[in-house]
């Protein structure tokens, strides 16, 4: 899922997202509740109509953004009190409020409010956050089932599994979350300070408990290799700002690994970003031109690199789906990894 | 001509420019000679190929940009010494150098180097700049005829007519410029401090001397009403940053006059920017959505307002061409003006 934080995947139109192979978008509840406000979006007929995207939309619960605000966040049993990053005004997000905002937005998939903790954390903190997440999940699901979206579409409710850095706690939380009967499940609180090896051990501890007939969504990561590793752990949906955010910093994904278009080596290059890619950026423009646009701060640079990176991610996933259908996912993932080099100066592990 | 200062009309692709009705673009010699440098663009096959635009391109001479640099500009008979706005390095632009850069870029229309003066100015300064412009025009044309473009295309050379704020000097300069035999003529040094009435008197003093069988290009202005007034003065080509620059500031042109999408009155509007317009911005999005994007600083706001404004200008001109063909230009211009209101808070008179 490309990330459309403020009701747009930065720089792209819905038609371009579709041409890139996008099936579903993520939009951020936190950002949209503050601006332009969910009542306005409901009044406009919901987020699909507002942003002119007629494919599925998943909204997150806003919990992750609120808890990452550095200052003035108070977590209470009723919900989270915080101050808006826009104007400092006092705001409040509870399980009920999160679901109401998501119903206003009219997303196809809404996600329960959770309480994640950065790692490392002591066992008590992890347990405490996990138990609170379970109580909030129950409240989110109960209230969410009563709400109506602006277009009257059915909204699926995904429950987030937490559990910190302890695989046993993860498994317990997964089991108790499953009992609450979400339409799908999300794995949250990963890539928050632990090693990559730990990440996948924690993911597996969760997914092996989740029912096979419900989608599993890994929240907020990662690199192309992360996605393939995640699929191997039994995960189905992913979202990450890497392809879009890094595009604006000049980073383009290629089958040989990420490149930075700012680098002098591309100054006179007549090659496309990726000869294997059929997106508009690769069909029309040389690296030399895109580097010029990027250094000159031109919007078209952000736009073309974003289009390319989204195309790259969607192609990676489309090929993974095909490989799974044909029973050869492991060899697909291995072949991709052999050609793909995450050079220094490449992307961070997650974002 | 939409303005593609740095080898791109900010935010738009060539396909979008064409869909908006664009026939020809302007690119800025000054900016491109400094970054990425004209030698690089020649090596890439010329500006058409570099930016993937296969329609005509007009390049200006760079003189206007250089002379508007506030500091460290020295005008000498050989040319203009100046410092780059990018890194402060010493640069030099002469008639010969300007034509060489434009030949490297491979534009379809190159423009001679001129010396414009801001108004008001004393008669001696105006005469002096006019005489220098004539000498530079002769040098530009002589040298320009010897140059070869990267694609081997024929390059038309347009000569700029100056003459300051004195209609008699304008007429004299026009006559003496015509004798130098440009392929077309440009009217420069207008909208530099004089009243609108004076602008059109000076333009008429020039155009009435120019040959009827050569195109006349009014440089760097203006509003929709300016364009219609300019056509009435016998002018054929125009360029202006208004539709593109003002789009990024939230200003959209409509048949009822300019609106600013930031204004609260649009916060809940389900109307398009202009119900009479068929561009992607007007077909897909409400004012409420575009206002949200603009206030959130989203690239798509700049992109959609730019697309709309370019479409608006091209439609205005396409209708003007049709009206001229059908012998009803005056009534077309009058009807447009009756509906179009330049409200306070609207665009500046020129840019």
| Contact yes or no for A298 and B6 at CB 8 A | yes
d(CA A309, CA A318): 14
Mean pLDDT value across chain B: 95
- Decide if pLDDT at B233 tops 60: yes
Q: What does the pLDDT average to over A283-290?
A: 98
pLDDT tens-place string over residues B269-294: 999 999 999 999 999 999 999 999 99
d(CA A227, CA A349): 11
- Decide if pLDDT at B347 tops 60: no
Dihedral over Cα of B71, B75, B81, B84: its sign:
positive
Nearest in space to A291 (alpha carbons), one of B9, B8, B84, B28: B8
Q: Is the ipTM of this complex over 0.90?
A: yes
d(CA B139, CA A240): 58
Which of A8, A44, A296 is the closest to B6 by Cβ? A296
- For residue A245, which residues of chain B lie inside 8 Å, CB to CB? none
Dihedral over Cα of A10, A12, A13, A15: its sign:
negative
- Decide if pLDDT at A347 tops 70: no
Q: What is the percentage of chain A residues whose pLDDT exceeds 70?
A: 97
d(CA B48, CA A151): 47
Which of B268, B291, B292 is the closest to A43 by Cβ? B268
pLDDT score of B8? 98
pLDDT score of B256? 96
- Decide if pLDDT at B349 tops 50: no
Closest-CA residue of B relative to A46 is B289
Q: What is the percentage of chain A residues whose pLDDT exceeds 90?
A: 94
pLDDT score of A345? 44
Q: What does the pLDDT average to over B250-267?
A: 98
pLDDT tens-place string over residues A38-77: 999 999 999 999 999 999 999 999 999 988 887 789 999 9
Closest-CA residue of A relative to B13 is A300
Q: Is residue B45 very low, low, confident or very high in pLDDT (cuts 50, 70, 90)? A: very high
pLDDT score of A305? 98
pLDDT score of B343? 63
Q: Is residue B69 very low, low, confident or very high in pLDDT (cuts 50, 70, 90)? A: confident
Q: Which helix (H) or strand (E) holds B294?
A: helix B287-295
Answer yes or no: are the C-beta atoms of B67 and B119 closer than 8 Å. no
Sheet strands side by side (includes A80-83)? A74-75, A80-83, A90-93
Mean pLDDT value across chain A: 95
Which of B40, B288, B303 is the closest to A268 by Cβ? B40
pLDDT tens-place string over residues B5-24: 999 999 999 999 999 999 99
Residues in B whose CB is inside 8 Å of some CB of A read: 6-8, 10-14, 35-36, 40, 43-44, 50-52, 267-268, 270, 280, 284-286, 288-289, 291-293, 295-296, 298-300, 302-303
Q: What does the pLDDT average to over A236-241?
A: 97
pLDDT tens-place string over residues B134-149: 999 999 999 999 999 9
Residue carrying the six token digits 């996990």: A130
Q: Is residue B346 very low, low, confident or very high in pLDDT (cuts 50, 70, 90)? A: very low
d(CA A307, CA A12): 7
Q: What does the pLDDT average to over A228-246?
A: 97
pLDDT tens-place string over residues A75-125: 999 999 999 999 999 999 999 999 999 999 999 999 999 999 999 999 999
- For residue A37, which residues of chain B lie inside 8 Å, CB to CB? none
pLDDT score of A67? 86
Which residues fall within 8 angstroms of residue A326, CB to CB, at 6 or more apart? none
pLDDT score of A348? 45
- For residue A12, which residues of chain B lie inside 8 Å, CB to CB? 300
pLDDT tens-place string over residues B49-61: 999 999 999 999 9
d(CA B177, CA B212): 14
pLDDT tens-place string over residues A21-33: 999 999 999 999 9
pLDDT score of A343? 63
pLDDT score of B230? 98
Which of A108, A166, A226, A239 is an active site residue? A239
pLDDT tens-place string over residues B95-136: 999 999 999 999 999 999 999 999 999 999 999 999 999 999
């Amino acid at each position: 899922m490309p990330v459309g934080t403020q009701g747009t995947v930065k720089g792209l139109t819905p038609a371009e997202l579709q041409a890139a192979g996008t099936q579903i978008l993520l939009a951020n509840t936190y950002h949209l509740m503050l601006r332009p406000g969910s009542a306005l979006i409901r009044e406009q007929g919901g987020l699909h109509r507002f942003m002119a995207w007629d494919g599925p939309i998943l909204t997150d619960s806003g919990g992750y953004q609120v808890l990452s605000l550095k200052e003035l966040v108070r977590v209470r049993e009723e919900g989270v009190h915080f101050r808006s990053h826009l104007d400092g005004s006092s705001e409040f997000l509870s399980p009920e409020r999160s679901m109401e905002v998501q119903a206003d937005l009219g997303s196809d998939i809404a996600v329960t409010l959770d309480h994640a903790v950065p790692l490392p954390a002591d066992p008590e903190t992890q347990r405490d956050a996990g138990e609170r997440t379970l109580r909030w999940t129950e409240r989110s699901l109960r209230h969410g089932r009563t709400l109506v979206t602006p277009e009257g579409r059915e909204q699926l409710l995904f429950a987030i599994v937490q559990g910190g850095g302890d695989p046993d706690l993860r498994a317990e939380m997964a089991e108790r979350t499953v009992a609450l009967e979400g339409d799908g499940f999300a794995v949250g609180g990963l890539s928050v300070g632990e090693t990559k090896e730990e990440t996948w051990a924690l993911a597996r501890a969760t997914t092996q408990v989740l029912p096979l007939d419900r989608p599993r969504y890994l929240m907020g990561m990662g690199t192309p290799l992360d996605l393939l590793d995640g699929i191997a752990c039994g995960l189905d949906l992913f979202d990450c700002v890497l392809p879009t955010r890094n595009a604006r910093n000049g980073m383009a994904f290629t089958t040989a690994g990420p490149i930075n278009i700012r680098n002098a080596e591309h100054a006179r290059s007549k090659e496309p970003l990726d000869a294997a890619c059929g997106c508009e950026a690769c069909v029309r423009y040389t690296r030399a031109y895109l580097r010029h646009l990027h250094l000159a701060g031109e919007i078209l640079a952000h736009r073309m690199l974003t289009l390319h990176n989204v195309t790259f991610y969607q192609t990676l996933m489309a090929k993974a789906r095909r490989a799974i259908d044909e029973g050869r996912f492991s060899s697909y993932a291995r072949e991709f990894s052999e050609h793909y080099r995450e050079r220094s100066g490449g992307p961070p592990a997650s974002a």
